[in-house]
Amino acid sequence: MNLPAPPIAASSEIPDVLLSLFIVLLAAKIGDEIFKRLKQPTLIGEILAGVIIGPAVFGLVEPNQTLEVFAELGVVFLLFWVGLETRLSDLAKVGGTATRVGVFGMILPLIAGFFGARLIGESTETSLFVGAALVATSVGITSAVLLDLKALKTRAARTILGAAVIDDVLALVLLSIVVGIADTGGVDVFSLLIVIGLSLGFLVFVGFGGIQLVRRWPDIFHAPKFAESPLLPAIILCLGLAAIAAEIGLAAIIGAFLAGMIVAETQDKHDFEKEVAPLYAFFPPFFFAFIGLQVELSAFGDPLVLVALVAVTLIAALTKFAGAWLGARAMGAKEALIVGVGMIPRGEVGIIVAGIGLGKGVIDGNVFTVIVGMSVLTTLIAPTLLKRLLERP
Amino acid sequence: MNLPAPPIAASSEIPDVLLSLFIVLLAAKIGDEIFKRLKQPTLIGEILAGVIIGPAVFGLVEPNQTLEVFAELGVVFLLFWVGLETRLSDLAKVGGTATRVGVFGMILPLIAGFFGARLIGESTETSLFVGAALVATSVGITSAVLLDLKALKTRAARTILGAAVIDDVLALVLLSIVVGIADTGGVDVFSLLIVIGLSLGFLVFVGFGGIQLVRRWPDIFHAPKFAESPLLPAIILCLGLAAIAAEIGLAAIIGAFLAGMIVAETQDKHDFEKEVAPLYAFFPPFFFAFIGLQVELSAFGDPLVLVALVAVTLIAALTKFAGAWLGARAMGAKEALIVGVGMIPRGEVGIIVAGIGLGKGVIDGNVFTVIVGMSVLTTLIAPTLLKRLLERP
């Protein structure tokens, strides 16, 4: 029975949206189970499931806004969980190294991307966008692998998390500069200072401030008013900080990570972890599968595009690895390797930056496709390497 | 920083969507806490929170598709939970009464709505739509109250659940007839038989069949392949049956209810309830708040519309009560009262039917507004009455 759309919020699309949620979750679970048996990182199975049911292969499901929101909530709850497992003091201990990892891990891909694009004749604006798209690490992917292997408490994991926060602030500043140049040909120093001020202010006031607040009132989520369950107030905090971070222009997951660290300061962290677990089981598969849903294979029929994809992926992976490894090399050979590999995945972040460039007409469809392909490939390469490194005695 | 929309799935809307999810969840939680203190049904607090933050009062949040999907999943997980608490044998015991409640509870509002609308000069098509919009009960509201008061195991509650399933099938058949008349001036018996066949087939094959299957293999969700947690397979089943039910034209919640009953046949139901609890805490507030978000007050400036609202609400509430009470009167005075009141809320179902009528041009904006208002008012009246009846010794 095909009923027409009622005027309020397209109600008749609900059955189809439910169906797409069902198909994505089922496919992701199947991919997950297959890769568990193959002893490969399960998130790769979920991403490939997205590729298979998506436009690239069978076209059963198109990316839609609801799926995108579920994907975003997937990585938000993932980083909330990671925050629950992280203490500020642990991050502070690796602060210096994390900063070096973040900075070097940004500079090398930016330079390589910019000059690489210039070399093949792209304009300055386009080359800047390519450089920017190569910069930002998607910490969601690495976090999932670290969680899966129960390696979140290691020093290398802390360093990656700290570096990811710094990486995201740097990427935001860089993106603001690049967008400014594309829009007006120059950089508006004043609005740049606002971006920097807002993002640092958010980190310091909300992160440190929130943690101090909860340390002073450790039962704040357990006050009699929330007697029933402290879960919902914690989830509301997570959504709120994620939304604010996203409105500022930072990644939503930075807010979720801070929210997790704040909640972790309350007394009975373990109750939270048990309560959040079902949300963590439900949403993240959408995050991984959605990456796969965004893959388009048709453009790679052109051998030039395919060559560009391989080259860009190698440059993106090697320069990020080299920069992060350089920043972390004081930690010793093995840990520097883990940090270097852990920073490689670009995931959804590279796709978003490329999308902005495409929207501005600064990069064309082929460059966009190559960057999306690079984001997915770096995301597929890193977990397998990381799993091997972490499981090696 | 306002970045333009990237071409893929409107990524730049994500921060605003996260913000709207945050505001709705926060407001619903505050409404819930206030009504808990007032010893009133908390879902009314959540609906009113939606009215206050929505277009009717402050306009902080507009209904959007993501919120609608969350609302739908809210009532889906609510009925999944109710299904977990329900045994087929318990439903079968009240089958005769539930059928009578469903049938009488449909006939009286239909007749009253139809002739009432004819009386004030509406056309036959319009009057049929008004009648149909008055028919369908929203069992989500009553279920939430019954769950809240831990009264799901009572015979009256079983009767309401059974009647709701029958009510939904009857409402679907009626809607198909009414839509057919509006579209072609007549009823296509063949397509009507398909609707009836599909919905009964779904109930029998999926409901009974699924339950028999699980009875035969009670550890189906615990097979070694799902060793990690049986939650996700159960959720996938819930989403799948909800989607199929919705695609057929039944309410998605009927599928979710069946899925809950099927999962409840496995060995350790209590594990499921504990695992589903966080999803049940997270999603349903969106369902209740979304009802409030859909309220528009501006049309009620016209006193005639206001009078119509009061009249239609009274007719809708009294005829549904009378029909259901009539069907249940053999159960005794008190239980018949509970069943009668429990069937009153129209909630989202009345709004959806009215929306279809508006989309077809069969009912106009004022009639639509009145039906939406009636749906919300019946939803606000019933829980308070039901709470009193159930708490009375």
Per domain, the residue ranges of chain B are: 74-283+302-391
CB contact under 8 A, A351 and B8: yes
Substitution target in B8, B177, B356 with the highest count of A β-carbons within 10 Å is B8
Substitution target in A195, A239, A276 with the highest count of B β-carbons within 10 Å is A239
Most distant CA pair in chain A, distance: 66
On the 0-12 / 13-18 / 19+ scale of CB atoms within 10 A, B58 is exposed
R_g of chain B, CA atoms, integer Å: 21
Mean pLDDT over residues B57-65, rounded? 91
Closest CA to A180 of A170, A189, A167: A189
| B198 pLDDT above the threshold of 70 | yes
Collapsing DSSP to helix, strand or coil, B302 comes out as: coil
Instruction: Say what the pLDDT of residue B221 is.
Output: 67
Size of interface A-B (CB pairs under 8 A): 197
CB contact under 8 A, A65 and B246: no
The CA distance from B76 to B287, in Å, is 9
| B251 pLDDT above the threshold of 90 | no
Compute the CA torsion angle B349, B351, B356, B358 (nearest 10 deg): 160
Instruction: Say what the pLDDT of residue A329 is.
Output: 94
The CA distance from B186 to B188, in Å, is 7
Per-residue model confidence as pLDDT tens digits over B135-163: 988 888 889 888 888 888 899 999 999 99
Chain B CB contacts of A242 below 8 Å: 18, 22
- Measure in Å the smallest separation between the Cα of A63 and chain B Cα atoms: 7
Instruction: Say what the pLDDT of residue B228 is.
Output: 57
Chain B CB contacts of A11 below 8 Å: 68, 352, 355
- Measure in Å the smallest separation between the Cα of A332 and chain B Cα atoms: 35
| B186 pLDDT above the threshold of 80 | no
Question: For B196, which residue in chain A has the nearest alpha carbon?
Answer: A1
Collapsing DSSP to helix, strand or coil, A218 comes out as: coil
Average pLDDT score over chain B? 86
CB contact under 8 A, A4 and B360: yes
- Measure in Å the smallest separation between the Cα of A270 and chain B Cα atoms: 15
Burial annotation A5-25 (CB, 10 A radius, 16+ → b, else e): ebebbebbbbbebbbbbbbbb
CB contact under 8 A, B232 and A176: no
The sign of the CA dihedral A46, B280, B234, A56 is negative
Instruction: Say what the pLDDT of residue B267 is.
Output: 59
Chain A CB contacts of B18 below 8 Å: 69, 72, 76, 239, 242-243, 246, 252
- Measure in Å the smallest separation between the Cα of A333 and chain B Cα atoms: 34
pTM of the model: 0.87
Token pair 């499901």 in the structure block, residue: A61
- Measure in Å the smallest separation between the Cα of B148 and chain A Cα atoms: 12
Instruction: Say what the pLDDT of residue B82 is.
Output: 87
CB contact under 8 A, B9 and A69: no
Collapsing DSSP to helix, strand or coil, B187 comes out as: coil
Q: How far is CA A306 from the centre of its chain?
A: 25
Low-confidence ranges of chain A (pLDDT < 70): 1-12, 220-229, 267-270
CB contact under 8 A, A66 and B67: no
- Tell me the percentage of chain B whose pLDDT exceeds 90: 41
Nearest to B6 among A7, A225, A352 (CB): A352
Q: Extract the tokens encoding A392.
A: 């090696």
Q: What would the CATH number be for the domain defined by A75-283+303-391? A: 1.20.1530.20
Q: Which helix (H) or strand (E) holds A69?
A: helix A65-84
Question: For B275, which residue in chain A has the nearest alpha carbon?
Answer: A278
Question: For B27, which residue in chain A has the nearest alpha carbon?
Answer: A236
Instruction: Say what the pLDDT of residue A196 is.
Output: 87
CB contact under 8 A, B6 and A249: no
Substitution target in A14, A184, A275, A288 with the highest count of B β-carbons within 10 Å is A14
Substitution target in A236, A241, A360 with the highest count of B β-carbons within 10 Å is A236
CB contact under 8 A, A352 and B11: yes
Are residues B74 and B285 in contact, defined by beta-carbon separation less than 8 angstroms? yes
Instruction: Say what the pLDDT of residue B196 is.
Output: 87
At B180, the amino acid letter reads G
The CA distance from A36 to A63, in Å, is 26
Token pair 């520097």 in the structure block, residue: A336
Instruction: Say what the pLDDT of residue A6 is.
Output: 36
Question: For B72, which residue in chain A has the nearest alpha carbon?
Answer: A14
CB contact under 8 A, A8 and B294: yes
Instruction: Say what the pLDDT of residue B145 is.
Output: 87
Interface ipTM: 0.87
CB contact under 8 A, A276 and B275: no
Instruction: Say what the pLDDT of residue A162 is.
Output: 92
Nearest to A15 among B246, B294, B354 (CB): B246
Question: For B295, which residue in chain A has the nearest alpha carbon?
Answer: A8
Q: CATH class for domain B74-283+302-391?
A: mainly alpha
Nearest to A7 among B26, B68, B355 (CB): B355
CB contact under 8 A, B67 and A7: no
Nearest to B243 among A1, A22, A242 (CB): A22
CB contact under 8 A, A1 and B195: yes
Residues 6+ apart with CB under 8 A from A353: A129, A132, A133, A135, A136, A171, A175, A371
Instruction: Say what the pLDDT of residue A269 is.
Output: 53
The CA distance from B181 to A19, in Å, is 29
